[in-house]
Amino acid sequence: MYDNTFPNKRFKHTVEFLKQHVDTSQSILDLGVENPLSEILKSNGYSVENTSGIDLDVNTSEIENSKNEVVTAFEIFEHLLSPFTVLKSIKANKLVASIPMRLWFSSAYRSKTDMRDRHYHEFEDWQFDWLLEKAGWKIIATEKWTNPTKKIGIRPILRWFKPRYYIVYAERVSNSKS
**pLDDT (tens digit, 9 = 90+) per residue, 112-143?**
666 666 555 678 999 999 999 999 999 999 99
Distance between CA atoms of residues 97 and 105, nearest Å: 24
Instruction: Identify which of 81, 125, 118 has the alpha carbon closest to the alpha carbon of residue 99.
Output: 125
- The DSSP bridge partners found for residue 168 are 97, 142
What pLDDT score was predicted for residue 6?
61
Sign of CA dihedral 58, 166, 3, 156: positive
Cβ count within 10 A of residue 92: 19
Return mean pLDDT, the chain: 86
C-beta of residue 72 within 8 angstroms of C-beta of residue 32:
no
Instruction: Identify which of 66, 53, 75, 56 has the alpha carbon closest to the alpha carbon of residue 94.
Output: 66
Give the pLDDT confidence of 100-112 residue by residue, as tens digits.
887 665 566 555 6
Query: Of 86-95, 103-112, 150-159, where does mean pLDDT reach its minimum?
Result: 103-112
What does DSSP assign to residue 75? S
What pLDDT score was predicted for residue 101?
81
Give the pLDDT confidence of 35-77 residue by residue, as tens digits.
999 999 999 999 999 999 999 999 999 999 999 999 999 998 9
What pLDDT score was predicted for residue 175?
54
Please indicate whether residue 102 or residue 8 has the higher confidence score (pLDDT).
8
C-beta of residue 46 within 8 angstroms of C-beta of residue 24:
yes
φ and ψ at 85, to 5 degrees?
-60, -45
Rg of the chain's alpha carbons, rounded to an integer?
16
Distance between CA atoms of residues 86 and 61, nearest Å: 10
Distance between CA atoms of residues 51 and 57, nearest Å: 13
Q: Where are the alpha helices (DSSP H) in 44-107?
A: 61-64, 83-89
What pLDDT score was predicted for residue 138?
98
